[in-house]
Amino acid sequence: MKKTVALMAFGLFIWAKMTAQVSPPDFNCVRGDTLFWNLPVNNCGPFVSYEVWASQSPMGPFVLQATITNPAQDYYAFINPSGEQWFFYLLSKFNCPGQASIPSDTLDNRPPEVSPIQAISVENGQAVVTWYPSPSPEVVSYVIYRQTSIGVVPVDTIYSGNTYTDPNADPQSGPESYFVNALDPCGNTSIFDVKHTSVFVEAEVIPCNQSVKLSWNPYVGWTNPIAKQEIWAGANGGPLTLFGDAGGSASSFEAADLLDETNYCFEVRSVEAVTGVVAKSNQICLFVDVVHPPLGMLLDNVSVNANNEVVLSWQWDPLAELTQYQILSSSQNTGYQPIATQATTPPLSSNNSFTDTPSGAAAAKVFYQIETRDVCDSVRISNYGSTIFLTATNQPGNINQLKWTMFDLENGDVSSYALHKVSGGTDSEIGAATPTTNTFDDEYDPNDLNDAQACYYVVAKTQVMTETGELLSRESRSNTACVEQDARIFVPNAFVPEGVNYEFKPLIALGDISKYEMKVYDRYGQEVFSTDEPSQGWDGSKNGKPLAQGVYAYVLTLKQSNGKVQVKSGHVTLIR
């Protein structure tokens, strides 16, 4: 065990002897062609000399240029009349047996190499300058220059690190430009490298676009192009998140779909290609007051009431800043024309209605849309919807046949049709039809006077989908269509004025008579009686004088309210 410890101690002694070195002068810099250094401390033996080695290539070969025997000398003037570039290093010579002299740093007779700026970024409202260190070993500090209204001026000197926050700059008011120069102990500085300029962003609210337009000066100074310019945004004091990418060459961006009456903060972050270095702009914050568009506008029903008036109902966002709306109408779902214009005044209602009294609603299918205009003069048109047009006709076999046009409502689906009949003052549902059916036959009782005139309407039961996916149940009623039975005329063939059947008067059953005329003639073709009242009969006289027994001719003309005309003629026997 002792032998092992002794061997380890001997090994450490040999290693120490082999690695002992004579320190060189602390080579500070070269000013002009004069070399300056700090004196070294070597206690291993007496001083012999300082050696100056020189070469015109950093890779050598180096040759001994001077031997200085004065231990207190800390400079050397190199003769270089042609001003060529030379490289130097120093050695210390001390009488220290077994210890090697190590060389100093190698310096040249040129100023320090540049220290390129990495980025000018804005952090917490202040300009932050970062740079790449100069490769020159003699550099001891960096001088920060800022471009001002009176020119480029030094603002600070940094002795450690490669970051500087400028307390006197104002990157929130405009772009800031900087240079960074490397400085050595002799006062030599690197040449001015490329100027770097920060990104300054401004913002403008565009109320009618519900957006904010950002404008900025692109970052200046990078060797590589700008790969992208990211837009970061935050709302109501929240953290900034990535909002969009404006590309590498843009100088503006429109941030759209913003919330009304919200505080937003924006920042542009430029990213250098290849390196990925990021330079942040100033942060711009503003209150966004935009024009609220009519979101969720939906025509949810078109229905005809009992008076054949069309009732439209629709929904819109009550926060929308509308100035007016128009009711548009069309017969073919194209070429819509305005039929009514209404001004709007806040506050708006979520649910709205309008009653149209078109002459054609009871004669044909009619389409509608709602058109809105806001304070920005922006126009928005709703989905379309149509009326149901119903016709009713009397058919042989005591059938009233109903036909209707399908209900059209964009965003709506019909689930079924319900058939209604109004007869004798009673409204009753008489049947149902599928969404694809548009006819129905109603069989009536010809002997039921209540069915002399029957009216009908159809109701479409519909599900309407809103923008949010909510389903609304709606019922759309058609126009009211009425149908008359043909009037039935019963004419007696004889009458006895002095008997029970004392006058000649046809009996009219069913039908709604709008015009009536009856004329009676004698055998010579002379008119003996005329009336336009169905309730008035002929008593067998002319001008108050009884006529003789005999056969007389009659002509009966009547017109029903549905326009149908019936003419009946024949003979009647007057008996006395």
390-484 has CATH 2.60.40.10 classification: yes
Separation of alpha carbons 105 and 199, rounded Å: 40
Superfamily of domain 20-108: Immunoglobulins (2.60.40.10)
Confidence category of residue 561, pLDDT binned at 50, 70, 90:
confident
Of 110-124, 353-367, 561-575, the range with the highest mean pLDDT is: 110-124
**Short-list 532, 537, 508, 517, CA closest to 449:** 508
CB distance 452 to 476 below 8 Å:
no
Confidence category of residue 9, pLDDT binned at 50, 70, 90:
very low
Whether residue 4 has pLDDT greater than 50 = no
Going from the C-alpha of 560 to that of each of 356, 399, 455, 516, the distances in angstroms are 30, 18, 16, 9
CB distance 393 to 442 below 8 Å:
no
**Short-list 505, 495, 522, CA closest to 556:** 505
> Is residue 133 reached through a cis peptide bond, with omega within 30 degrees of 0 on the bond before it?
no
Separation of alpha carbons 559 and 511, rounded Å: 9
488-574 has CATH 3.30.70.260 classification: no
> Architecture of domain 117-197 in CATH?
Sandwich (2.60)
Higher-pLDDT residue of 328 and 32 is: 328
Lowest-confidence pick of 53-62, 313-322, 423-432, 481-490: 481-490
Chain mean pLDDT for the chain: 91
Ordered by start, the domain boundaries in the chain are 20-108, 117-197, 201-288, 300-381, 390-484, 488-574
Higher-pLDDT residue of 306 and 236 is: 236
> Is residue 347 reached through a cis peptide bond, with omega within 30 degrees of 0 on the bond before it?
yes
Separation of alpha carbons 576 and 566, rounded Å: 31
- Please tell me whether residue 434 adopts helix, strand or coil conformation: coil
Work out whether strand 337-343 and strand 379-381 pair parallel, antiparallel, or are unpaired.
Answer: unpaired
Query: Which residue do the tokens 């300009």 mark?
Result: 127
Rounded to the nearest angstrom, the gap between the alpha carbon of residue 210 and the centroid of all alpha carbons in its chain is: 9
CB distance 433 to 440 below 8 Å:
yes
Whether residue 360 has pLDDT greater than 80 = no
Task: Report DSSP letters for 124-175, one per residue.
Answer: TTEEEEEEPPPS-TT--EEEEEEEETTEEEEEEEESSSSEEEETT--TTTS-
Whether residue 549 has pLDDT greater than 70 = yes
Find the length of the chain.
576
The neighbouring-strand residues paired with 370 are 327
Rounded mean pLDDT, 121-140: 96
Whether residue 3 has pLDDT greater than 50 = no
Give the phi and the psi of residue 10 in degrees, each rounded to 5.
-65, -40
Rounded mean pLDDT, 88-104: 96
Rounded mean pLDDT, 321-334: 94
Whether residue 416 has pLDDT greater than 50 = yes
**304: amino acid identity, one letter:** V
Return the CA Rg of the chain. Answer: 54
Q: Which tokens go with 350?
A: 């979520």
The neighbouring-strand residues paired with 166 are 127
Convert the pLDDT of each residue in 472-494 to its tens digit: 999 999 999 988 776 677 889 99
Whether residue 13 has pLDDT greater than 80 = no
Whether residue 509 has pLDDT greater than 80 = no
Rounded mean pLDDT, 182-207: 96
Give exposure, 535-570, as e/b (b: 16+ Cβ within 10 Å).
eebbbbeeeeeebeeeebbbebebbbebeeebeeee
Convert the pLDDT of each residue in 521-543 to its tens digit: 998 999 999 999 988 999 999 99
Question: What does the pLDDT read at residue 296?
Answer: 83
Confidence category of residue 551, pLDDT binned at 50, 70, 90:
very high
Rounded mean pLDDT, 277-292: 95
Whether residue 6 has pLDDT greater than 60 = no
Question: What does the pLDDT read at residue 501?
Answer: 84
The 10 Å Cβ neighbour count of residue 421 is 21
Whether residue 8 has pLDDT greater than 50 = no
Rounded mean pLDDT, 34-49: 96
Rounded mean pLDDT, 346-373: 87
The neighbouring-strand residues paired with 430 are none
Whether residue 66 has pLDDT greater than 50 = yes
**Short-list 406, 435, 431, 434, CA closest to 421:** 431
Whether 201-288 shares its CATH topology with 488-574 is answered: yes
CB distance 160 to 129 below 8 Å:
no
- Which CATH number describes the domain made up of 201-288? 2.60.40.10
Superfamily of domain 300-381: Immunoglobulins (2.60.40.10)
Question: What does the pLDDT read at residue 12?
Answer: 33
